[in-house]
Structure 1
Amino acid sequence: MLLIMPPHGNCNGDHNHQHDNPEMGIEYSLYSKINTENLECLNEAVEGSGKTVFKPWEDRLNFEVFVESDADQELLFNIPFVGNVKLKGIIIAGEEADNFPNRVRLFKNRPNMTFDDVSSKPDQEFEISQDNQGLLEYATKVVTFNNVHHLSLHFPSNFGADVTRLAYIGLKGEFFEAHHHGVTICNYEIRPNMMDHKNPLNENVSRDVQ
Protein backbone atom coordinates (compact mmCIF):
# COMPACT_ATOMS: atom_id res chain seq x y z
CA MET A 1 0.00 0.00 0.00
CA LEU A 2 1.35 3.36 -0.99
CA LEU A 3 1.72 5.70 1.95
CA ILE A 4 1.63 9.37 1.08
CA MET A 5 2.47 11.96 3.66
CA PRO A 6 0.66 15.29 3.62
CA PRO A 7 3.11 17.89 2.29
CA HIS A 8 3.82 20.56 4.90
CA GLY A 9 0.39 20.12 6.46
CA ASN A 10 -1.21 22.19 3.70
CA CYS A 11 -3.35 19.56 2.09
CA ASN A 12 -6.07 17.10 2.95
CA GLY A 13 -4.52 14.31 5.00
CA ASP A 14 -6.54 11.37 3.67
CA HIS A 15 -4.73 10.24 0.52
CA ASN A 16 -4.48 6.50 0.98
CA HIS A 17 -7.61 5.50 -0.91
CA GLN A 18 -8.00 8.27 -3.46
CA HIS A 19 -6.48 6.18 -6.25
CA ASP A 20 -9.38 3.68 -6.05
CA ASN A 21 -12.11 6.22 -5.32
CA PRO A 22 -14.39 6.42 -8.40
CA GLU A 23 -15.89 9.69 -7.17
CA MET A 24 -12.60 11.54 -7.65
CA GLY A 25 -13.29 11.76 -11.37
CA ILE A 26 -16.58 13.52 -10.63
CA GLU A 27 -15.14 15.79 -7.95
CA TYR A 28 -12.26 16.86 -10.21
CA SER A 29 -14.40 17.71 -13.25
CA LEU A 30 -14.09 21.51 -13.14
CA TYR A 31 -11.73 21.28 -16.13
CA SER A 32 -14.88 20.88 -18.24
CA LYS A 33 -16.15 24.26 -17.00
CA ILE A 34 -13.08 26.19 -18.13
CA ASN A 35 -13.41 28.65 -20.98
CA THR A 36 -10.60 26.89 -22.82
CA GLU A 37 -10.60 29.28 -25.76
CA ASN A 38 -9.59 32.16 -23.48
CA LEU A 39 -7.34 30.19 -21.11
CA GLU A 40 -3.73 31.31 -21.34
CA CYS A 41 -0.43 30.14 -19.95
CA LEU A 42 2.39 32.65 -19.82
CA ASN A 43 5.99 31.52 -20.42
CA GLU A 44 4.98 28.16 -21.92
CA ALA A 45 7.68 26.73 -24.19
CA VAL A 46 5.14 25.33 -26.67
CA GLU A 47 2.17 27.53 -27.50
CA GLY A 48 -1.11 26.01 -26.35
CA SER A 49 0.53 23.33 -24.19
CA GLY A 50 -0.73 24.95 -20.98
CA LYS A 51 -4.31 24.08 -21.91
CA THR A 52 -3.50 20.37 -22.16
CA VAL A 53 -2.84 19.87 -18.44
CA PHE A 54 -6.50 20.49 -17.60
CA LYS A 55 -7.86 17.07 -18.43
CA PRO A 56 -10.01 14.26 -17.01
CA TRP A 57 -9.00 12.65 -13.74
CA GLU A 58 -8.39 9.30 -15.44
CA ASP A 59 -5.84 10.95 -17.78
CA ARG A 60 -3.87 12.66 -15.01
CA LEU A 61 -0.94 10.21 -15.27
CA ASN A 62 -0.43 10.69 -18.99
CA PHE A 63 2.91 12.45 -18.64
CA GLU A 64 3.48 12.50 -22.39
CA VAL A 65 1.16 15.51 -22.45
CA PHE A 66 2.63 18.33 -20.38
CA VAL A 67 3.50 22.02 -20.20
CA GLU A 68 7.05 23.22 -19.74
CA SER A 69 8.26 26.73 -19.00
CA ASP A 70 10.41 28.55 -21.52
CA ALA A 71 12.76 31.27 -20.31
CA ASP A 72 12.94 30.39 -16.61
CA GLN A 73 11.13 28.41 -13.90
CA GLU A 74 7.94 30.47 -13.82
CA LEU A 75 4.53 29.57 -15.22
CA LEU A 76 1.38 31.67 -14.94
CA PHE A 77 -2.07 30.36 -15.82
CA ASN A 78 -5.07 32.64 -16.38
CA ILE A 79 -8.12 30.38 -16.13
CA PRO A 80 -11.57 31.80 -16.95
CA PHE A 81 -14.65 29.71 -16.20
CA VAL A 82 -17.90 29.63 -18.16
CA GLY A 83 -19.77 30.30 -14.92
CA ASN A 84 -18.98 30.61 -11.23
CA VAL A 85 -17.24 27.94 -9.17
CA LYS A 86 -16.67 27.19 -5.53
CA LEU A 87 -13.08 25.92 -5.54
CA LYS A 88 -12.40 23.30 -2.87
CA GLY A 89 -9.12 21.68 -3.84
CA ILE A 90 -6.27 21.44 -6.30
CA ILE A 91 -3.96 18.61 -7.41
CA ILE A 92 -0.65 19.06 -9.25
CA ALA A 93 0.86 15.98 -10.89
CA GLY A 94 3.87 15.16 -13.03
CA GLU A 95 7.04 13.14 -13.13
CA GLU A 96 9.16 13.21 -9.99
CA ALA A 97 12.10 15.35 -11.00
CA ASP A 98 13.84 18.62 -10.20
CA ASN A 99 11.62 20.37 -12.75
CA PHE A 100 8.48 19.68 -10.71
CA PRO A 101 7.06 22.93 -9.25
CA ASN A 102 7.56 23.37 -5.51
CA ARG A 103 5.11 26.21 -4.92
CA VAL A 104 1.82 27.50 -6.29
CA ARG A 105 0.13 30.84 -5.64
CA LEU A 106 -3.61 31.29 -6.19
CA PHE A 107 -5.32 34.53 -7.22
CA LYS A 108 -9.09 34.90 -7.37
CA ASN A 109 -10.95 36.96 -9.99
CA ARG A 110 -7.97 38.88 -11.39
CA PRO A 111 -8.25 38.43 -15.17
CA ASN A 112 -5.34 39.00 -17.54
CA MET A 113 -2.61 38.78 -14.92
CA THR A 114 0.98 39.12 -16.10
CA PHE A 115 4.28 38.51 -14.37
CA ASP A 116 4.26 42.18 -13.42
CA ASP A 117 1.19 41.47 -11.26
CA VAL A 118 2.40 38.42 -9.34
CA SER A 119 4.28 40.50 -6.79
CA SER A 120 0.91 41.22 -5.16
CA LYS A 121 -0.24 39.05 -2.27
CA PRO A 122 -2.02 35.85 -3.40
CA ASP A 123 -5.34 34.79 -1.96
CA GLN A 124 -3.71 31.50 -0.96
CA GLU A 125 -0.32 29.84 -1.39
CA PHE A 126 0.90 26.26 -1.06
CA GLU A 127 4.29 24.63 -0.89
CA ILE A 128 3.80 21.52 -3.00
CA SER A 129 5.51 18.14 -3.03
CA GLN A 130 6.45 16.03 -6.02
CA ASP A 131 3.49 13.85 -6.97
CA ASN A 132 3.65 11.27 -9.75
CA GLN A 133 0.34 9.66 -8.78
CA GLY A 134 -1.93 12.70 -8.70
CA LEU A 135 -3.06 11.95 -5.16
CA LEU A 136 -1.92 14.92 -3.11
CA GLU A 137 -4.84 17.27 -2.67
CA TYR A 138 -4.36 20.83 -1.46
CA ALA A 139 -7.50 22.13 0.21
CA THR A 140 -8.37 25.71 -0.60
CA LYS A 141 -10.13 28.17 1.69
CA VAL A 142 -13.70 27.60 0.56
CA VAL A 143 -14.90 30.91 1.99
CA THR A 144 -12.22 32.74 0.02
CA PHE A 145 -12.67 30.79 -3.20
CA ASN A 146 -16.44 31.00 -3.32
CA ASN A 147 -17.98 32.64 -6.40
CA VAL A 148 -14.85 32.38 -8.57
CA HIS A 149 -15.22 33.25 -12.25
CA HIS A 150 -11.48 33.53 -12.94
CA LEU A 151 -8.54 31.76 -11.33
CA SER A 152 -4.85 32.55 -11.78
CA LEU A 153 -2.18 30.03 -10.79
CA HIS A 154 1.41 31.20 -10.46
CA PHE A 155 4.20 28.64 -10.22
CA PRO A 156 7.27 30.72 -9.27
CA SER A 157 9.88 27.98 -8.79
CA ASN A 158 10.73 24.27 -8.80
CA PHE A 159 13.10 21.83 -7.12
CA GLY A 160 16.24 23.11 -8.85
CA ALA A 161 15.91 22.68 -12.62
CA ASP A 162 16.23 25.49 -15.16
CA VAL A 163 12.65 25.03 -16.35
CA THR A 164 9.40 23.81 -14.78
CA ARG A 165 7.28 20.95 -16.09
CA LEU A 166 3.90 19.60 -14.98
CA ALA A 167 1.39 17.26 -16.58
CA TYR A 168 -1.85 17.70 -14.67
CA ILE A 169 -3.72 20.39 -12.79
CA GLY A 170 -6.91 19.13 -11.18
CA LEU A 171 -9.53 21.51 -9.85
CA LYS A 172 -12.13 20.29 -7.38
CA GLY A 173 -15.31 22.13 -6.53
CA GLU A 174 -18.86 23.05 -7.45
CA PHE A 175 -20.05 24.82 -10.58
CA PHE A 176 -22.88 27.33 -10.86
CA GLU A 177 -24.32 28.75 -14.07
CA ALA A 178 -23.60 32.43 -14.55
CA HIS A 179 -26.60 34.68 -14.00
CA HIS A 180 -27.80 36.41 -17.14
CA HIS A 181 -28.87 39.92 -16.26
CA GLY A 182 -30.24 40.95 -19.63
CA VAL A 183 -33.87 40.20 -18.78
CA THR A 184 -33.56 41.84 -15.40
CA ILE A 185 -32.10 44.99 -16.92
CA CYS A 186 -34.91 45.14 -19.46
CA ASN A 187 -37.50 44.83 -16.72
CA TYR A 188 -35.98 47.71 -14.84
CA GLU A 189 -35.85 49.80 -17.99
CA ILE A 190 -39.54 49.28 -18.65
CA ARG A 191 -40.54 51.08 -15.48
CA PRO A 192 -38.68 54.34 -16.17
CA ASN A 193 -40.06 54.36 -19.70
CA MET A 194 -43.61 54.05 -18.40
CA MET A 195 -42.99 56.86 -15.95
CA ASP A 196 -41.61 59.12 -18.63
CA HIS A 197 -45.15 60.38 -19.27
CA LYS A 198 -45.19 61.86 -15.78
CA ASN A 199 -41.86 63.61 -16.11
CA PRO A 200 -43.31 66.96 -17.26
CA LEU A 201 -45.62 67.02 -14.26
CA ASN A 202 -42.78 66.10 -11.95
CA GLU A 203 -40.65 68.84 -13.41
CA ASN A 204 -43.44 71.39 -12.94
CA VAL A 205 -43.89 70.34 -9.35
CA SER A 206 -40.18 70.66 -8.80
CA ARG A 207 -40.20 74.16 -10.20
CA ASP A 208 -43.15 75.11 -8.04
CA VAL A 209 -41.46 73.84 -4.94
CA GLN A 210 -38.37 75.79 -5.77
Structure 2
Amino acid sequence: MQDMSHHHGHGDCNDESHHHDHHHDLPEGVGPRDNLFTRIDRDNVIALNAQDPGKGPEVIKPWDQRLDEDKYLESDADDQLIIRVPFTGAVKLRALLLKTGPGHQSPAKVSIFIEYNNLEHVDFPTISDLKPVQEFDVAQGRDIGEYHVMPAKFSNVTSVTLFFPESQGADTTRVYYVGFIGTFSGERKGQPIITVYESRPNIADHPKITETLPNMQR
Protein backbone atom coordinates (compact mmCIF):
# COMPACT_ATOMS: atom_id res chain seq x y z
CA MET A 1 0.00 0.00 0.00
CA GLN A 2 1.29 3.42 -0.85
CA ASP A 3 0.61 6.43 1.30
CA MET A 4 0.46 9.96 0.01
CA SER A 5 1.36 12.38 2.79
CA HIS A 6 0.83 16.12 2.66
CA HIS A 7 3.95 17.93 3.82
CA HIS A 8 3.59 21.29 5.55
CA GLY A 9 6.40 23.69 6.38
CA HIS A 10 6.87 25.80 9.47
CA GLY A 11 3.99 27.88 10.76
CA ASP A 12 0.81 28.62 8.86
CA CYS A 13 0.20 26.16 6.04
CA ASN A 14 -1.54 28.74 3.88
CA ASP A 15 1.86 30.03 2.83
CA GLU A 16 3.29 26.61 2.06
CA SER A 17 3.10 24.47 -1.05
CA HIS A 18 2.00 20.83 -0.87
CA HIS A 19 3.79 17.87 -2.33
CA HIS A 20 3.36 14.14 -2.01
CA ASP A 21 5.82 11.62 -0.68
CA HIS A 22 5.41 7.96 -1.58
CA HIS A 23 6.79 5.66 1.11
CA HIS A 24 7.00 2.76 -1.35
CA ASP A 25 10.50 1.76 -0.21
CA LEU A 26 9.36 1.01 3.35
CA PRO A 27 8.00 -2.37 4.47
CA GLU A 28 4.37 -2.16 5.54
CA GLY A 29 4.17 -1.83 9.31
CA VAL A 30 7.55 -0.15 9.70
CA GLY A 31 6.68 3.36 8.56
CA PRO A 32 9.01 6.30 8.04
CA ARG A 33 12.32 6.34 9.80
CA ASP A 34 12.13 7.86 13.30
CA ASN A 35 8.42 7.20 13.73
CA LEU A 36 7.91 7.64 17.50
CA PHE A 37 4.95 5.27 17.90
CA THR A 38 6.84 2.93 20.25
CA ARG A 39 7.93 5.92 22.37
CA ILE A 40 4.39 7.11 23.12
CA ASP A 41 2.91 6.31 26.54
CA ARG A 42 -0.38 5.18 24.98
CA ASP A 43 -2.06 4.17 28.25
CA ASN A 44 -1.87 7.78 29.45
CA VAL A 45 -3.06 9.52 26.28
CA ILE A 46 -6.01 11.70 27.31
CA ALA A 47 -8.80 13.29 25.26
CA LEU A 48 -11.00 16.18 26.42
CA ASN A 49 -14.50 16.87 25.05
CA ALA A 50 -14.51 13.52 23.25
CA GLN A 51 -17.70 11.49 22.85
CA ASP A 52 -15.78 8.57 24.34
CA PRO A 53 -12.78 9.94 26.32
CA GLY A 54 -11.46 6.43 26.88
CA LYS A 55 -10.69 6.13 23.17
CA GLY A 56 -7.84 8.64 23.34
CA PRO A 57 -5.16 5.93 22.96
CA GLU A 58 -6.96 4.43 19.93
CA VAL A 59 -5.90 7.23 17.57
CA ILE A 60 -2.24 6.50 18.43
CA LYS A 61 -1.91 3.74 15.84
CA PRO A 62 1.02 1.80 14.38
CA TRP A 63 2.07 2.85 10.89
CA ASP A 64 0.32 -0.04 9.14
CA GLN A 65 -3.02 1.09 10.65
CA ARG A 66 -2.63 4.80 9.89
CA LEU A 67 -5.37 4.79 7.22
CA ASP A 68 -7.85 2.81 9.34
CA GLU A 69 -11.17 4.64 9.78
CA ASP A 70 -12.89 2.21 12.16
CA LYS A 71 -11.34 3.81 15.26
CA TYR A 72 -11.43 7.56 15.79
CA LEU A 73 -12.02 10.37 18.26
CA GLU A 74 -14.97 12.70 17.77
CA SER A 75 -15.71 15.82 19.78
CA ASP A 76 -18.80 15.87 21.97
CA ALA A 77 -20.37 19.13 23.24
CA ASP A 78 -19.10 21.18 20.29
CA ASP A 79 -16.31 21.04 17.70
CA GLN A 80 -13.40 21.66 20.10
CA LEU A 81 -11.08 18.81 21.02
CA ILE A 82 -7.91 18.41 23.11
CA ILE A 83 -5.55 15.42 22.93
CA ARG A 84 -2.63 15.15 25.35
CA VAL A 85 0.12 12.71 24.33
CA PRO A 86 2.91 11.81 26.81
CA PHE A 87 6.11 10.07 25.73
CA THR A 88 8.08 7.45 27.65
CA GLY A 89 11.06 9.81 27.72
CA ALA A 90 12.46 12.94 26.11
CA VAL A 91 12.15 13.24 22.32
CA LYS A 92 13.25 15.66 19.63
CA LEU A 93 10.22 16.27 17.41
CA ARG A 94 10.44 16.98 13.70
CA ALA A 95 6.86 16.50 12.53
CA LEU A 96 3.28 15.86 13.59
CA LEU A 97 1.25 13.35 11.55
CA LEU A 98 -2.55 13.67 11.35
CA LYS A 99 -5.47 11.99 9.61
CA THR A 100 -8.73 13.86 10.22
CA GLY A 101 -12.12 14.50 8.69
CA PRO A 102 -13.99 13.56 6.66
CA GLY A 103 -14.77 16.83 4.90
CA HIS A 104 -16.07 19.58 7.17
CA GLN A 105 -15.36 17.45 10.25
CA SER A 106 -11.68 18.17 9.64
CA PRO A 107 -10.29 20.62 12.19
CA ALA A 108 -9.58 24.09 10.85
CA LYS A 109 -6.34 24.34 12.83
CA VAL A 110 -4.16 22.42 15.25
CA SER A 111 -2.33 24.27 18.03
CA ILE A 112 0.65 22.47 19.55
CA PHE A 113 1.71 22.96 23.17
CA ILE A 114 4.48 21.25 25.13
CA GLU A 115 4.90 20.64 28.84
CA TYR A 116 6.74 23.81 29.78
CA ASN A 117 3.55 25.78 29.04
CA ASN A 118 2.18 24.63 32.43
CA LEU A 119 -0.51 22.46 30.86
CA GLU A 120 -0.58 19.83 33.60
CA HIS A 121 -4.12 20.96 34.44
CA VAL A 122 -5.26 21.96 30.98
CA ASP A 123 -8.85 22.91 30.24
CA PHE A 124 -10.57 24.74 27.39
CA PRO A 125 -10.74 28.26 28.89
CA THR A 126 -7.05 28.06 29.83
CA ILE A 127 -5.74 26.68 26.57
CA SER A 128 -7.78 29.14 24.48
CA ASP A 129 -5.91 32.03 26.15
CA LEU A 130 -2.42 30.57 25.72
CA LYS A 131 -0.09 31.09 22.78
CA PRO A 132 0.83 27.74 21.19
CA VAL A 133 4.42 26.79 20.49
CA GLN A 134 3.36 26.30 16.87
CA GLU A 135 0.08 26.26 14.94
CA PHE A 136 -0.94 24.85 11.56
CA ASP A 137 -3.93 25.06 9.26
CA VAL A 138 -5.27 21.56 8.60
CA ALA A 139 -6.08 20.52 5.03
CA GLN A 140 -9.09 18.38 4.17
CA GLY A 141 -8.32 15.02 2.62
CA ARG A 142 -8.08 11.27 3.23
CA ASP A 143 -4.27 11.31 3.28
CA ILE A 144 -1.90 11.60 6.22
CA GLY A 145 -0.97 15.24 6.79
CA GLU A 146 2.66 15.80 7.81
CA TYR A 147 3.27 19.07 9.68
CA HIS A 148 6.93 19.97 10.19
CA VAL A 149 7.65 21.73 13.48
CA MET A 150 10.50 24.11 14.30
CA PRO A 151 13.14 21.73 15.74
CA ALA A 152 14.66 24.29 18.10
CA LYS A 153 11.35 24.63 19.94
CA PHE A 154 10.74 20.88 20.20
CA SER A 155 14.22 19.62 21.11
CA ASN A 156 13.46 18.20 24.58
CA VAL A 157 9.80 17.19 24.75
CA THR A 158 8.17 14.71 27.13
CA SER A 159 4.53 15.48 26.30
CA VAL A 160 2.55 17.21 23.57
CA THR A 161 -0.93 18.70 23.84
CA LEU A 162 -2.90 19.17 20.62
CA PHE A 163 -5.77 21.67 20.64
CA PHE A 164 -8.29 21.66 17.80
CA PRO A 165 -10.27 24.90 18.34
CA GLU A 166 -12.90 24.37 15.65
CA SER A 167 -13.97 22.25 12.71
CA GLN A 168 -14.23 23.38 9.10
CA GLY A 169 -17.98 23.87 9.39
CA ALA A 170 -19.37 20.69 10.98
CA ASP A 171 -20.87 20.43 14.46
CA THR A 172 -18.11 18.06 15.57
CA THR A 173 -14.43 17.44 14.84
CA ARG A 174 -13.09 13.97 14.05
CA VAL A 175 -9.50 12.65 14.32
CA TYR A 176 -8.48 9.20 13.04
CA TYR A 177 -4.73 9.14 13.52
CA VAL A 178 -2.05 11.01 15.47
CA GLY A 179 1.64 10.25 15.02
CA PHE A 180 5.03 11.89 15.44
CA ILE A 181 8.37 11.87 13.65
CA GLY A 182 11.56 12.54 15.60
CA THR A 183 14.30 10.94 17.66
CA PHE A 184 14.24 9.49 21.16
CA SER A 185 16.65 11.10 23.64
CA GLY A 186 16.27 9.02 26.80
CA GLU A 187 14.00 7.27 29.25
CA ARG A 188 11.84 9.30 31.61
CA LYS A 189 13.05 9.23 35.20
CA GLY A 190 10.52 8.26 37.85
CA GLN A 191 6.80 7.78 37.41
CA PRO A 192 4.73 10.34 35.51
CA ILE A 193 2.25 12.47 37.40
CA ILE A 194 -1.15 11.59 35.98
CA THR A 195 -3.69 14.39 36.18
CA VAL A 196 -7.38 13.55 36.29
CA TYR A 197 -9.17 15.45 33.54
CA GLU A 198 -12.87 15.96 32.95
CA SER A 199 -14.31 12.75 31.55
CA ARG A 200 -17.34 14.56 30.17
CA PRO A 201 -17.28 18.14 28.90
CA ASN A 202 -18.43 20.98 31.12
CA ILE A 203 -20.96 22.78 28.92
CA ALA A 204 -20.06 26.15 30.43
CA ASP A 205 -16.44 25.69 29.31
CA HIS A 206 -17.45 25.64 25.65
CA PRO A 207 -18.47 29.18 24.63
CA LYS A 208 -20.02 28.14 21.32
CA ILE A 209 -22.88 26.42 23.10
CA THR A 210 -23.30 28.48 26.27
CA GLU A 211 -26.14 30.43 24.68
CA THR A 212 -28.24 27.25 24.79
CA LEU A 213 -27.90 26.86 28.56
CA PRO A 214 -31.13 28.71 29.55
CA ASN A 215 -33.17 26.37 27.34
CA MET A 216 -31.57 23.15 28.51
CA GLN A 217 -33.57 20.78 30.65
CA ARG A 218 -31.97 20.02 33.99
TM-score category (smaller protein): 0.7 to 0.9
Report the CA distance between 1:137 and its aligned residue: 1.2
Task: Give the structure 1 partner of residue 106 of structure 2.
Answer: 100
Q: Which has the larger radius of gyration?
A: 1
**Does 2:146 correspond to 1:142?**
no
Does the Cα contact within 8 Å between 2:51 and 2:74 map onto a contact in 1? Answer: yes
Q: Structure 2 vs 1, CA of residues 21 and 153 (structure 1 numbering), >3 Å: closer, same or farther?
A: farther
Q: How many residues align?
A: 178
Structure 2 unmatched runs, 5+: 191-218
Report the CA distance between 1:112 and its aligned residue: 3.4
Report the CA distance between 1:171 and its aligned residue: 0.8
Q: What's the TM-score once normalised by structure 1's chain length?
A: 0.75
Report the CA distance between 1:10 and its aligned residue: 4.7
Task: Give the structure 1 partner of residue 135 of structure 2.
Answer: 125
Which segment is superposed worse, 110-119 or 1-10? 1-10
Task: Give the structure 2 partner of residue 34 of structure 1.
Answer: 40
Report the CA distance between 1:4 and its aligned residue: 6.0
Corresponding residue SS for 2:136: strand
Report the CA distance between 1:30 and its aligned residue: 1.4
Q: Structure 2 vs 1, CA of residues 10 and 58 (structure 1 numbering), >3 Å: closer, same or farther?
A: farther
Task: Give the structure 2 partner of residue 17 of structure 1.
Answer: 22
Does the Cα contact within 8 Å between 1:97 and 1:130 map onto a contact in 2? Answer: yes
Read off the aligned partner of 2:131 and give its amino acid letter: K
Report the CA distance between 1:98 and its aligned residue: 0.9
**Does 2:66 correspond to 1:60?**
yes
Residue identity over aligned pairs, in percent, reads 31
Report the CA distance between 1:8 and its aligned residue: 2.0
Corresponding residue SS for 2:20: coil
Read off the aligned partner of 1:167 and give its amino acid letter: Y
Corresponding residue SS for 2:187: coil
Report the CA distance between 1:3 and its aligned residue: 9.9
Read off the aligned partner of 1:164 and give its amino acid letter: T
Q: Distance in 1 between matches of 2:16 and 2:98?
A: 13
| Cα shift readout 1:128-185 (whole Å, capped 9, x = no counterpart) | 1013121x3110010000100111100111110001011011211111223649xxxx
Structure 1 unmatched runs, 5+: 182-210
Q: Distance in 2 between matches of 1:5 and 1:90?
A: 10
Match of 2:125 among 99, 116, 130: 116
Greater per-residue strand proportion = 2
Q: Distance in 1 between matches of 2:83 and 2:21?
A: 29
Q: Structure 2 vs 1, CA of residues 150 and 102 (structure 1 numbering), >3 Å: closer, same or farther?
A: same
Read off the aligned partner of 2:105 and give its amino acid letter: N
Read off the aligned partner of 2:106 and give its amino acid letter: F
Task: Give the structure 1 partner of residue 174 of structure 2.
Answer: 165
Task: Give the structure 2 partner of residue 50 of structure 1.
Answer: 56
Q: What's the TM-score once normalised by structure 2's chain length?
A: 0.73
